[in-house]
Amino acid sequence: MRKPQALLDRVDHPPWWRDRRVIPWLVQGVVGLLLLVLIAFLLGNLVHNLTARGMLLSWRWLGEPAGFDISESFLPFDAAQPYWRGLAAGLANTLRAVLSGLVGATLLGTLAGMASFSRNGLLRGLTRAYVEIIRNIPLLLQLIFWYFVVFLSLPNGTAALQIPGVVLAKSGLYLAGFSQGMHWSLPQLINGVWQAPWRLSVEFAALLSGLIIYSGAFIAEVVRGGIASVPKGQWEAATSLGMGWFPTLRHVVLPQALRVIVPGLNTQYISLAKNSSLAVAVGFSDLYSVAETTLNQTGRALEVYLLLLGAYLALDLVISVVMNGLNRLVQIRER
Amino acid sequence: MSFRPTRAWALPLVLVGLLASCAQDGGTGVQSAKLAMIQGRGKLVCGVDGKLPGFSFVGPDGRYSGLDVDVCQAMAAAIFGDASKVEFRDLNSSERFAALASGEVDLLSRNTTMTLSRDAPGGNALSFAPTTFFDGQGMMVPAASGITTLKALAGKPICVESGTTTELNLADRMREIGVAYTPLKFQTGDQTYAAYLGGRCIAVTSDRSQLAAKRSSFPNPGAHTLLKDVMSKEPLTPATTNADPAWADAVRWTVNTLIQAEELGITKANITSKLAEAKANKNQADLRRFLGVEGDFGKQLGLPADFVVKIISAVGNYGEIFDRNVGPASKLKLDRGVNNQWTKGGLMYSPPFR
Amino acid sequence: MNLLLRRLRADLFATPADGALSLGLIALISAAAVGLVQWACQKAQWAVIQANSTLFAVGRYPEAQQWRLWLLTALLTAATGVSWGLLRSHPRADREGQLWPRNDRLVLGLLAAVALWVPWALRLAPALQSRWWLLAALLGASRWLAGRFGSHLSRPLLRLFPLVWPLLYLIGMVLISGGLGLMPVPPSQWGGLLLTLLTASFAILLCFPLGVLLALGRRSDLPLLRWSAVVYIEFIRGAPLITLLFLGQNILGFLLPGGLAPDRIWRAAWVLTFFAAAYLAEAVRSGLAAVPKGQAEAARSLGLSYPQTLVRVVLPQALRVALPAMVGQFISLFQDTTLLSLIGLLELLGVARTVMANPEFLGNNREVYLTLALLFWSCCAALGLGSRALEKRLDPQTLSQSASRP
């Protein structure tokens, strides 16, 4: 009786290295060991090299006076304030660029995405051309073009481009608004310098134009894909009910398309947030630019990079969380 | 059998001799790990700006030239006897120290200002050679703007390269005189001057020599003026890291060689005749030591004995380098001023070679 | 003619509002076009491109060694022509048997026109101009020869032919960097388009296997593999590329023992590779998710091992689905090489910036940026077109349709 049982055992139990239950652990063990060795090697070198230079992690420098100024910031900042205030001002500038970029790119992208379903062939062709041209040219090149070619060749002073309430000059974009209480005021030229309640620097304007136009093209594709995912019958049904082109789009198609659009938007928003770090090429003091200056004035490479990476990861996380919330909202409508 | 005791005695003698020679080697031979690495690699890696006419600039033929470049070439000549064994790395001001600290470049010869915090082990931990150019920070404005003082810049945008001492000095000076301004910062000199020429800022600030260098390259140099104010002291100095003092010494004395050679009147043209003279005349002890005919200065630094000869025949002395790159023979046409020899009222002073 | 008119009317002037819009757009577009042409022909000073064309093409690559790059270009051209001809000479079920389809004639004509016109417009030396003509002729000739006689080649030879490409890549690396008896040219002297193409192709080739492994890891049942893949992918995707590039340049020196860190160009190329791998992994993952579970189960039940199932059943389907997303990643990777200029490398944009710092060409930035934009646009658009054609060919529907055709 024993013999067949032993045979059966052998069939059921292949050598241990081919055992279905062992293999996963074996693979994980090997991979884990490799990762561990790699990390230990890198960290060991890091500690060794930093100790040799006397630059082990320390955060005390964050409290010391920065000594440099920032061209524009929401948070008031000057050279006497500590580094962390400078970094915070940079972060505020990044947030400002990202938020305005998100709004602008969404508007532009949605319009362009909708226009690609227009009855007008010329408009369709134009949006197609916009998307195809912009998506195939590097963003950095576009940003530099906007700043050094477009905005820096604007006229200054009295020759500035003016329409009522808005002045576009080399020194910035000036907008009318309420200043000092409820006092409506227009941009004015005082001593050869424009003054207005709202002013955007050309650096910010160049960054924003570049980001909006670049991301807008990608968002237009996302929106187009979303609208295309709605069955044609929906269009036909709505039209046969006597609805026009725009009302159909607005009330019938877009709500359904959002299910597809929102996840795609998430990706685009995150990439816009990260792309804002290219501000450094057009002289806008965003978080990355301030961090680079800080790194250079303090020599604290590792600490500055940890802060920088942490900040961008957090920013991405916030966008993801908001967009996932939005996604849930959009999906619930489907019954 | 009778000579056996002699043999037995010989063995310890040989051992002692070996040990002694080892000790001697260790005492005067190459000590610098960096220098050994450079020699093994066969070339020196030198960090330069690369876009600054007069100091380091790539011509249309793809060759580097300038005062900073010549310092690198002098170093290569000292090590290898061949000034071409150097690889240049263009570094912008915000990456230069990291590049030096991580060993990316062996030597930083990039119009870098010597400061306490950059020198100190608790700061950037650099080790500075003698200064190769004494400069000061200046401000350039379009002549048509009518601006003549720093105060007149109130509320105006000023272009500045980020990550420089210039940026910090600007903040300090303006705070001192209580003038608010808008700093426009760019990563590289190119962008900074492009923005200035594009009219985005009313002034650009940098080292005066750099401003003069850039102005000389503008389409219409006469349309820009330098303000009289000198905003800071900017001793531009080659640097290495604190990590290898022996290597820093080799760099230090290479730069001193350039200065000393000018003081002794040794030039690229007359170096061969001077060498012949030194070899012939035993009474010229100073010259003989300097040119490596006598003594072992080269060996003490871990360099070839005739490193001075190699340096001078490759790049000439400091005066020649200055004239060729930034002085009368160049587009910049800068005065020697404080950069003259101490014997002529300047600050260039090499400690004695002995 | 009548049809065209009717089509125009339906497209542009269906309603009065549409008509007004069309007229406005036509006015706008023609004004822009006229302005651009006027500027390009009259005001623009193209001397900045003409004088620096070598710098743009290869950076500071030593002139005496540039024949190696010409040789490489010729080899690549010949290989392209032969591969193209062989594809056409072997009609498969999914491919029409025509030797010279219309698109092929169009592409070849376009390439020939570019090879004739661009060197002339750049005012290259006659010797260099004729080299470009020869290259165009070489492409046409090898295409024709392979198309004409390709069908006579034996099967095993044909199967081995694709190996020419990796071989050529290795040969190319040797030709560019030197060694094996050639004078070494250090990476610091590579630049311009050469550097852009080199880093991009390096990163594209290497990020592909890495990305597939990461995607498999992320979908793995083994928690350790899954979590390491997730952490890696999310970390990389959360950081802007420029911070990673700076990390590679400034911090990598601290992470490795002294002197072990590769040259900064290779460092940047590796950073690009690791960066792109994370994004590619996401594209491949979406492809993997699209493969029905039954496929893998069926393969396993037929007795295929896990690697066999993966390589023969799951991955081919997943990669086909992921193809558009992957090519999209490659295109953006190609564009991302411009960021190398921010860390001081002289790729195309970096060279452009040094050229514009040259006092002689101050203020000529429009010409330079426009040329660069055109160059990048044509490369990316060509990649996109190629991907769409491949996608169509690999589409199971067209495959089965053409297979069923007698």
Neighboring chains of C (3 or more beta-carbon pairs < 8 A): A, B
Out of B210, B232, B254, pick the residue that ends a domain: B232
What is the rounded CA–CA span in Å between residue A247 and residue C169?
A: 56
In the A/B pair of chains, how many CB contacts fall below 8 A? Answer: 95
SS3 C389: helix
Contact between chains at C254 and B102 (C-beta distance less than 8 A): yes
Contact C254 A275 (CB under 8 A): no
**B121 and B145 fall within a common domain:** no
Q: Where are the alpha helices (DSSP H) in C219-314?
A: 223-238, 241-246, 252-255, 264-290, 293-301, 306-308
Question: Can you tell me which residue has the tokens 């390259």?
Answer: B217
Domain check: are B324 and B250 in the same one?
A: yes
Contacts of B180 (CB under 8 A, 6+ apart): B154, B155, B174
Distance (Å, whole) CA C145 – CA C237: 47
Look at residues B197, B232, B267 and tell me which one is the last residue of a structural domain.
Answer: B232
Position A7, amino acid: L
pLDDT category, B60, cuts 50, 70, 90?
A: low
- In this complex, the residue of C11, C14, C25 whose CB is nearest that of residue A126 is C25
Give the E-state strand segments of chain B in sequence order. 44-48, 51-52, 56-58, 64-65, 86-90, 107-108, 126-128, 133-142, 157-161, 182-186, 203-207, 224-226, 233-236, 239-241
Tell me: the pLDDT tens digits for A173-207?
A: 888 777 766 677 777 777 767 777 778 888 999 99
**What is the per-residue pLDDT for B18?**
43
Which residue in C has a C-alpha nearest to residue A312's C-alpha?
C239
The whole-chain average pLDDT of chain C stands at 83
Which pLDDT belongs to residue B17? 44
How far is it between the farthest Cα atoms of chain B?
Answer: 103
Q: How, if at all, do strands B107-108 and B224-226 pair?
A: unpaired
Contact C250 B219 (CB under 8 A): no
In chain A, residues with a C-beta closer than 8 Å to the C-beta of C331 are 135-136
Higher pLDDT, B319 or A24: B319
B-chain residues near A308 (CB < 8 A): none
Nearest to A32 among C224, C331, C381 (CB): C224
Cα separation of the two ends of chain A: 62
Q: What is the C-alpha separation between C309 and C300, in angstroms, rounded?
A: 7
List chains touching A (3+ CB pairs under 8 A). Answer: B, C
Given a cut of 70, is residue B12 above it in pLDDT? no
CA C92 to chain centroid, in Å, comes to: 26
Q: Chain B: nearest CA to C271, how far in angstroms?
A: 17
Is A187 exposed, middle or buried, given 0-12, 13-18 or 19+ CB atoms closer than 10 A? Answer: buried
Taking every pair of Cα atoms in chain A, the longest distance, rounded to a whole number of angstroms, is 110
Dig out the tokens for A161 from the structure.
């481009």
CA B320 centroid distance within chain: 15
> C238 contacts in A (CB within 8 Å)?
309, 312-313, 316-317
CB contact under 8 A, B99 and C249: yes
For chain B, the chains sharing at least 3 beta-carbon pairs closer than 8 angstroms are A, C
Same domain, B177 and B221: yes
What is the DSSP-derived secondary structure letter of residue A65?
B
Kindly state whether residue B3 falls inside one of the protein's structural domains: no
Task: Quote the CATH superfamily of domain A83-152+202-330.
Answer: MetI-like (1.10.3720.10)
| C237–A270 C-beta distance less than 8 A | yes
Closest alpha carbon to A82 in A105, A68, A65: A65
Write the CB contacts of C48 (distance below 8 Å, at least 6 apart in sequence). C355, C356, C361, C364, C367, C368
Query: Which of B232, B253, B279 marks a domain boundary?
Result: B232
Specify whether B29 is located in the same domain as B166: no
Question: What residue spans define the domains of chain A?
Answer: 5-53, 83-152+202-330
Segment 51-90 of chain B within 8 Å of chain C by CB:
51, 53, 58, 60, 62, 87-90
Same domain flag for B44 and B107: yes
CATH number at residue B194: 3.40.190.10
CB contact under 8 A, C342 and A32: no
Q: Which residues in chain A are contacts of B170 at CB distance < 8 A?
A: 69
Contacts of B193 in chain C (CB under 8 A): 357
Range of the domain at B286: 10-133+236-344
Full pLDDT tens readout for chain A, 335 residues: 455 555 555 555 667 666 667 777 888 888 889 999 999 988 888 888 777 766 677 888 888 888 888 888 777 888 788 888 889 999 999 999 999 999 999 999 999 998 888 878 888 889 999 999 999 999 999 999 999 888 888 887 777 787 777 888 888 888 877 776 667 777 777 776 777 777 888 899 999 999 999 999 999 999 998 888 888 888 888 888 888 878 888 888 888 888 888 888 988 999 999 999 999 888 898 999 899 888 877 878 888 888 999 999 999 999 989 998 888 888 755 44
CB–CB contact C376 A308 (8 Å):
no
Q: Is residue B349 part of a domain?
A: no
Q: Which of C401, C393, C390, C233 is nearest to C323 (CA)?
A: C390
Number of domains observed in the structure of chain B: 2
Cα–Cα distances in Å, from A334 out to A249, A257, A329?
18, 11, 10
Mark whether B118 and B148 lie in a shared domain.
no
Per CB-CB distance under 8 Å, the chain B contacts of C251 are: 102
User: Do both B121 and B40 map to the same domain?
Assistant: yes
- The reply to whether B129 and B251 lie within a common domain is yes
Same structural domain, B108 and B167:
no
Q: Does the beta-carbon distance from C359 to B217 stay under 8 Å?
A: yes
For range C112-123, the mean pLDDT: 86
ipTM of model = 0.87
Per residue in B165-224, pLDDT (tens digit) is 888 889 888 888 888 888 888 888 888 888 898 888 899 999 888 888 888 878 788 899
Check B162 against A156: CB less than 8 A apart: no
* Lowest mean pLDDT segment, chosen from A39-53, C17-31, C93-107, C389-403: C389-403
Residue of C226, C335, C341, C347 to mutate for A, most A C-beta atoms under 10 A: C335
- Chain C contact present for B189, CB below 8 A: yes
**Residue B125 and residue B142 in one domain:** no
- CA-based nearest residue to B262, from B201, B167, B211, B327: B327
For chain B, positions 127-166, list CB contacts with chain A under 8 A.
Answer: 155, 157, 162-163
Four-CA torsion A294, A298, A300, A303, nearest 10 degrees = -50
Radius of gyration of chain B (CA): 24
- Pairwise CA distance, residues A28 & C215, whole Å: 16
Q: How close, in Å, is residue A88 to chain B by CA atoms?
A: 17
- DSSP calls for B209-270: HHHHHHHHHSS-GGGEEE-S----EEEE--EEETT-HHHHHHHHHHHHHHHHHHHTT--TTT
CB contact under 8 A, C365 and A148: yes
What is the model's pTM? Answer: 0.81
| CA distance linking residue B249 with residue B240, whole number of Å | 10
Cβ atoms B264, B353 nearer than 8 A: no
Return the minimum-mean-pLDDT range out of A176-180, B318-322, B336-340, C96-100.
Answer: C96-100
Q: CA of A145: which chain C residue's CA is closest? A: C369
Q: In terms of residues, how long is chain A?
A: 335
- Measured on CA atoms in the order A291, A293, A295, A298, is the torsion positive or negative? negative
Q: Would you say residue B354 lies in a domain?
A: no
Is residue B297 within 8 Å of residue B353, measured between CB atoms? yes
- For residue C357, the chain B residues in CB contact (below 8 A) are 51, 189-190, 193-194
Which residue would you say has higher pLDDT here, C157 or B262? B262
Same domain, B222 and B263: no
pLDDT tens sequence across C25-67 = 888 889 989 988 888 888 877 888 888 888 888 888 888 888 8
Q: Say whether C246 sits in a helix, a strand or coil.
A: helix
Q: What is the mean pLDDT of residues B44-71?
A: 86
Helix (H, G, I), strand (E, B) or coil at C55: helix
Digit-coded pLDDT (tens) for C356-365: 777 677 777 8
| Same domain, residue pair B74 and B189 | no
Question: Which residues in chain C have Cβ-Cβ distances shorter than 8 Å to A121?
Answer: 11-12
